[in-house]
């Protein structure tokens, strides 16, 4: 598939690892178009989260490039990538538990110098439960609600790309469906979404594009629907 030329965000031919350790990614390419959802799936240890971290600038890459909206950002720090429109929600420690929901959202906007009330209202429209619980400490919320706080906080930076590392880890199937519904709504606002997800079948069902990584390299790249229908993908990665 050579339609990556018009991708809004692309990590192309990424090769690298952490520190002086062995490479984890090998010539790995991941891209997402504007307002679309791209999902990275694959077995444990396949380098899924590593690929995401490479795109966010947390990896030593000695081959490959990262571009956002046509601009090469390979040499930029994570902080500078945020300024270019990236938001990254890690899997763990992604909310301030002792602060209220509203304070968490305000923390998301700490770099902004403009009025944040409009964005806050948009987040509350996307996540009505957060509006109900805005005065509550984030640590008192359920896992699924905390994930909504984490995503909401990332949205307060008004990102062009939202990167989510296993957003549905440890939540019930009902909550997972709810989170995926919200993620679809975020994409509909024109934000590109790149996510790593253990729940491969459900994630591919909402994905415009899917990447199956194995040992840090692209094994399959296709639309979510095509990957779900691919007998080899189903047998090897989706439990038949």
Q: For 18-55, what is each residue's pLDDT tens digit?
A: 888 899 999 999 999 999 999 999 998 889 999 999 99
Q: Which pLDDT score is estimated for 2?
A: 52
Q: Is the pLDDT of residue 240 over 70?
A: no
What CATH code would you report for 1-84+196-235? 3.40.50.300
CA 97 to chain centre: 21
Mean pLDDT of 82-107: 93
Q: Which pLDDT score is estimated for 86?
A: 96
Cα separation of the two ends of the chain = 25
Q: Which pLDDT score is estimated for 6?
A: 73
Q: Which residue would you say has higher pLDDT here, 38 or 91? A: 38
Q: Which two tokens stand for residue 53?
A: 């971290």
CA distance 159 to 109: 11
The pLDDT tens digits of the residues spanning 60-86 come to: 899 999 999 999 999 999 999 999 999
- Residues of the chain with pLDDT > 70, as a percent, come to 98
The pLDDT tens digits of the residues spanning 131-169 come to: 999 999 999 999 999 999 999 999 999 999 999 999 999
Q: Is 219 helix (H, G, I), strand (E, B) or coil?
A: strand
Provide φ and ψ at 76, rounded to 5°: -80, 150
List the chain domain ranges: 1-84+196-235
Q: Is the pLDDT of residue 126 over 80?
A: yes
Mean of all residue pLDDT scores within the chain: 93
Residues 137 and 100 sit within 8 Å (Cβ to Cβ) = yes
DSSP letters, 95-133, are S-TTSBHHHHHHHHTTT--S--HHHHHHHHHH-HHHHHT
CA distance 185 to 177: 12
Instruction: Read off the DSSP letter of residue 11.
Output: E
Q: Which pLDDT score is estimated for 38?
A: 98
Q: Which pLDDT score is estimated for 3?
A: 61
Mean pLDDT of 210-225: 96
> What does the angle CA 55 – CA 120 – CA 199 come to, to the nearest 5 degrees?
45
Q: Which pLDDT score is estimated for 1?
A: 45
| List of long-range contacts for 27-31, beta carbons under 8 Å, 24+ apart | 27/63, 27/64, 27/217, 27/218, 28/54, 28/64, 28/213, 28/216, 28/217, 28/218, 29/4, 29/218, 29/221, 30/55, 30/194, 30/211, 31/4, 31/7, 31/209
Instruction: Read off the DSSP letter of residue 40.
Output: E
Name residues whose C-beta falls within 8 Å of residue 237's C-beta, 6 or more positions apart in sequence: 41, 42, 43, 200, 212
CA distance 63 to 38: 22
- Residues of the chain with pLDDT > 90, as a percent, come to 85
The two beta strands, 60-68 and 9-17, are: antiparallel
CA distance 115 to 235: 51
CB atoms within 10 A of CB 63: 13
Q: Which pLDDT score is estimated for 111?
A: 76
């Amino acid at each position: 598939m050579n339609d990556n030329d018009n991708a809004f965000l692309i990590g192309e031919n990424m090769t690298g690892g952490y520190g002086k350790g062995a490479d984890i990614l090998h010539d790995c390419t991941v891209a997402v178009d504007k307002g679309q959802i791209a999902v990275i799936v694959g077995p444990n240890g396949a380098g899924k989260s590593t690929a995401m971290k490479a795109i966010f600038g947390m990896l030593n890459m000695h081959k490959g490039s990262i571009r956002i909206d046509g601009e090469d950002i390979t040499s930029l720090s994570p902080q500078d990538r945020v300024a270019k429109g990236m938001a990254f929600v890690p899997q763990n420690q992604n909310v301030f538990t002792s602060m209220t929901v509203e304070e968490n959202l305000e923390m998301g906007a700490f770099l902004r110098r403009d009025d944040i009330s409009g964005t806050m209202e948009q987040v509350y429209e996307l996540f009505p439960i957060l509006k109900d619980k805005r005065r509550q400490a984030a640590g008192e919320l359920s896992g699924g609600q905390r994930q909504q706080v984490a995503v909401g906080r990332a949205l307060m930076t008004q990102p062009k790309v939202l990167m989510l590392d296993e957003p549905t880890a440890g939540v019930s199937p009902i909550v997972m469906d709810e989170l995926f519904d919200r993620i679809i709504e975020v994409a509909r606002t024109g934000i590109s979404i790149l996510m790593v997800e253990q729940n491969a079948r459900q994630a591919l069902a909402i994905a415009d594009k899917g990447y199956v990584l194995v040992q840090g390299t692209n094994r399959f790249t296709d639309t979510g629907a095509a990957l779900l229908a691919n007998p080899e993908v189903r047998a090897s990665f989706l439990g038949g």
